[in-house]
Chain A
Amino acid sequence: MLFELQNVGLDRGGRTVLDAFSAGIPEGATAIVGPSGAGKSTLLRLLNRLADPDRGEISYRGRPLSSYEPLALRREVSLVPQLPALLDGTVESNLRYAAELAGEDLDVEETLARAGLDPSFAERDVAKLSVGEQQRAMLARALAQHPAVLLLDEPTSALDHAARDAVEATLARLRSESNLSLVLVSHDPEQARRLADRVVEMPA
């Protein structure tokens, strides 16, 4: 089992965001679905320790998540947030930053291709990209670290139909890569079925 969650609970600002949530997430592609406000994004942030639960236990590959060093864990379990948030500069400088943090060599063209971007994107200023292009640049940046697990928070929420189909095609290709697991959050059950082997439902 990749992730195992047992009675996980989390409060924020006096409100219970997650309450006694249990689930298993195996290797491969898993979608987390549920209504908005169910705590899907929060759950994703717990999986690479951008936050820690107030109650319950999460394990990763059989070991308590809290025993992993957070920085090393985040390079192995990479999160792509819902809204693009690149660093100022070019797409390539963002990829380099991520690769250097992970101590990985970077093949810019190959990384861009894995994220469905052509090589001309390397020199593009991130401030001049469309939201869909930024989303893919975020994906490429995560891939530059050669993670074992990709956590994707609503990867197509800000996109029009054409861009959504393109990102889905990219994710479908990544899904077939044997050494990469995907955990993606979606409010759209149809998309979850299209992209994942397994669907975890979160209660409202």
Chain B
Amino acid sequence: MSTTSIHVELWQVAASLVLVALAAAISRWQSADLERDIVVATGRSIVQLTLVGYAIKLIFEVDTIWLVLALLAVMVFFGAITARHRADKVPNSFGPLLIALALAGASTLGLVVALGIFDPTPRYLVPVGGMVIGNAMTASAVALNRLGDEMADARARIEATLALGATAREAAAPTVRRALRSGMIALVDSTKTTGLIFFPGTMVGMLLAGASPTDAVRLQLILLYTLLGSVSISALVATLLAYRNFFTPAAQLREL
């Protein structure tokens, strides 16, 4: 893979704030009541990305795998906390989410390194790991959100199936299947339309940084497929672990 570099001046970043002002102006003009949120979002993005930038700079300079693993572990932890808020109808969802994100991150990163696609260096593992865990978080949050809704809607049907002597797993199977699907479908759909309706971020970034379109496309494809893997693993693990929390060990539906 060719290495490219680009230098961005601070004034260029500052100039792009004109578009933030435009967004705020539209919100105010149409009374969308988002001005405050836009200001907060802009402030947070500057602070958070700058801090992460310094952290990544430090990790690149120290160049040890342990620091990378520590950073990824922190991402998994905060990812699980964030996803838990969207899975509020699932009892004790933090454990399943934490395991789902950790497994999705470890297995997909492990696989791309083992297959020789990326070197096990901070330069690859940090950005790819961030994308993998971020997408895994979204997918597992969507899947568990759906699981919570579906378990509530299908309560009568699930109990009627348990009444036939089905295991909790058998009774919840249609519900788990739908939850898994909804966790995966967004990325599957966007992978279908990629390049036609939108240019994915990595490709845009590489083109802006001066890489050849061929390299940009190839890297983007690798990342899309890596993300498909991580999204399916995280949605699968999260739903398979979380549905159990709706049942007692005697295969009874818990009162929620």
Contacts and interface: CB of A to CB of B under 8 A. Distances in A.
Contact of B167 (A51, A71, A81, A83): A71
B161 to A, nearest CB: 7
Contact of B156 (A70, A79, A81): A81
Given A12-B255, A85-B156, A74 B250 contact: no
Contact of B163 (A74, A86, A87): A74
B164 A50 contact: no
Contacts of B174: 87-88
A80 B162 CA distance: 11
A3 to B, nearest CB: 16
B163 A101 contact: no
A154 B18 CA distance: 67
A1 B156 CA distance: 30
A88 B161 CA distance: 12
A72 B165 contact: yes
B163 A50 contact: yes
Interface stretch (A21-29, A105-113, A138-146, A196-204): A138-146
Contacts of B36: none
Given A85-B157, A85-B159, A70 B251 contact: yes
A52 B250 contact: yes
A164 interface: no
Interface string B149-177: 00000001101111111110010001000
Contacts of A145: 164-165
A48 interface: yes
Contacts of A79: 163
B164 A78 contact: yes
Interface string A65-80: 0000011111100111
Interface string A31-61: 0000000000000000011111000000000
Interface in B226-254: 250-253
Nearest to A70: B250
A62 interface: no
A81 B251 contact: no
A118 B160 CA distance: 23
A51 B156 contact: no
B252 A74 contact: no
Nearest to B161: A87
Shortest Cβ-Cβ A-B pairs, 8 listed: A75-B165, A85-B160, A74-B165, A85-B157, A79-B163, A85-B156, A71-B165, A70-B250
Given A50-B163, A88-B174, 20 more contacts: A48-B163, A49-B250, A50-B162, A50-B253, A51-B252, A52-B252, A70-B252, A71-B165, A74-B162, A74-B163, A75-B164, A78-B163, A80-B163, A86-B157, A87-B161, A87-B174, A101-B164, A102-B165, A145-B164, A145-B165
23 contacts: A12-B255, A48-B163, A49-B252, A50-B159, A50-B163, A50-B252, A52-B252, A71-B166, A72-B165, A75-B164, A75-B165, A78-B163, A80-B163, A81-B160, A85-B156, A85-B157, A85-B160, A87-B161, A138-B160, A141-B164, A142-B164, A145-B164, A145-B165
Interface of B: 156-157, 159-167, 170, 174, 250-253, 255
